[in-house]
Amino acid sequence: MFESDLALVTGASRGIGRAIALALGRAGATVVGTATTAAGAQQIGVDFQAAGIRGRGLAWNAADPASTDALIEALDGVEGLPTILVNNAGIARDALILRMKNEDWEQTLQINLSAVFRLSKACLRRMLKQRHGRIINIGSVVGATGNAGQVHYAAAKAGLVASARHWPRRWLHATSPLTRWRPDSWRQI
C-alpha cells in the first residue's frame, strides 16, 4: 500500500508515535522514527528490524532548529525527504499557571508547535512539487477544551489546529497534503 513512501514519524519511541510508525511500516512504507536520545533512536531501529520493517531511528531535538536542519540533511542524504510526515512528538509538564515556570511554557510551545512548523515547512516544498505527500499532525482535545494545569499544552495544540486549518487553504491550488487527527476522539477532523 505504501511501498514507495517514506514516512517520518516524530516521537516514535513509545506510545502513539510508536504505534503509528509500526502500522505504517507494516503497510509497506519505509519508516524513519525519531527519539530524543541516541539510545531511543537505536531502540526504534531494533523494533523495526524485529517487526520486519524497513527503516531506522534517528535522534532529534525538536526544540532546536539546528537539529531539524540536521534531521532533514540526514534524511535527504540517505532515504530522501518523506512523503508522509507524522508530527507526533510532544511534551506536557503539568502545572497550574501561577506555578508554571516560564521555561516549561517556552519548551512546550517550542516542541509541540514550533517544531511542527519547522519540520512541516522543510518537507512541504517537495511534497507540493511532487504533488504527492501527507502531513499528519497529532492533536489533542485539550486544544479545544483546555485542561487544568495544561494551559501551555492547550495553547500549543490549539495553535496546531489553527495552523492546520490555514495550510490547506493556502495550498488548495495544489493537492492539500495536511490531515489533523485527534487520537482522543478516534476520528479524523
Catalytic positions are 153
Euclidean distance between CA atoms 91 and 84, whole angstroms:
22
Least Cα distance to 13 among 52, 43, 38 occurs for 43
Query: What are the start-end ranges of the E strands in 39-117?
Result: 55-59, 84-87
Query: What are the start-end ranges of the E strands in the chain?
Result: 6-9, 30-35, 55-59, 84-87, 134-138, 178-182, 187-188
Look-up of cell digits 511501498: 3
